[in-house]
Structure 1
Amino acid sequence: MNANPAIRPIALAVIRRGDAILVFEGRDETKQQTFYRPLGGGIEFGEPAADAVRRELREELGVELYNVELLGVLENIFAAFGRRGHEIAFIFAADVVDPAVYTAEDLGLVLDEGTPVVWQPLSRFDGDAILYPTGLLDLLRGGRR
């Protein structure tokens, strides 16, 4: 259990290439589980969520975003890495300025974490592949973009 539990606001970018989205591949050894999540991260105090998602993608992948549009907000209460968490996730659709990102199969690693960045088709998450945050797949399938 967290010593000082807090709700963490995050901003995530859903970048599409046809029916695929750009995600990082994570591993939770406490659950023996591989999962996928769009790139993004914490919103700093006084920072608008749209600015946070632009900053996070610059820090994590070294890319610039445009056409940043709020798709929705998800509340995620979860257990991961042996502790409980609570996030409010602002989910943004976005495009990447550099067109090479859309043709690359190997996008390397998240710069500040070292986790692999990959394209995954949405249909992959109909099976046993896990997409976080919970509710994201439903939002994307019923979303405006």
Structure 2
Amino acid sequence: MAEQRIRALALCIFHHKGKILVNQFYDPIKQQVLYRPIGGGIEFGETSAEAIVREVREELGLSMKDLRLLGTLESIFIYDGKPGHEIVQVYDAIFEDASVYEQSHVDGQESNGSPFVAKWHASSSFNDDSPLVPKGLHELLVNAGRLE
């Protein structure tokens, strides 16, 4: 059995015209679609800000500017039948290449090589059946003026 541990994670919100850029994924056990912003794990010796810059560069091949911390969330969840526990630093930033905001989607690649497509979604895309994760993120973004 794998050791259970708390994972440190950094996510970045890119917003444009009332929409945010998210990756859609699926929990086969719950048969549920979930949405999560771009980001990933914080490596030992790396700050959360350094992690998000690295993750966006690795996953999307893009650079950003004006990075700022919006808040921190603690997420305890079950995904694919396995328990998880994350401390999540949530950042806001702007893509250096403004043309990204005019694209309907951005092609990405996970660290394991799996491709994914990140798309722009409005607040209305997220609900109890297809939530924005981690829990509490939607409220944080509404309070920060990033979603309606």
TM-score tier, shorter chain, comes to: over 0.9
Once the two structures are superposed, residues 50-108 of structure 1 have per-residue CA deviations (whole angstroms, 9 ceiling, x without a partner) of 01000000011111111100000000000001200000000001111111210001322
User: Superposition RMSD on alpha carbons, in Å?
Assistant: 1.5
Q: TM (normalized to structure 2)?
A: 0.91
- In the alignment, is residue 81 of structure 1 matched against residue 80 of structure 2? yes
Count, aligned residues: 144
Alignment of 1:104-123 (within 5 A): 104-112=103-111, 113-123=114-124
Give ranges in structure 2 of 5+ residues lacking alignment. none
Question: Secondary structure of 1:108's partner?
Answer: strand
The answer to whether the 8 Å contact 1:110/1:117 transfers is no
Equivalent pair of 2:33/2:129 in contact (CA under 8 Å): no
1:1-145 to 2 correspondence within 5 Å?
A: 3-112=2-111, 113-126=114-127, 128-143=129-144
Q: Any conservation in 2 of the 1:24–1:39 contact (CA below 8 Å)?
A: yes
Letter in 2 for 1:44: E
Does the residue aligned with 1:12 lie in a helix, a strand or coil?
A: strand
**Identity percentage over the alignment?**
41
* Off by >2 Å, runs of 4+ in structure 1: 108-113, 126-129
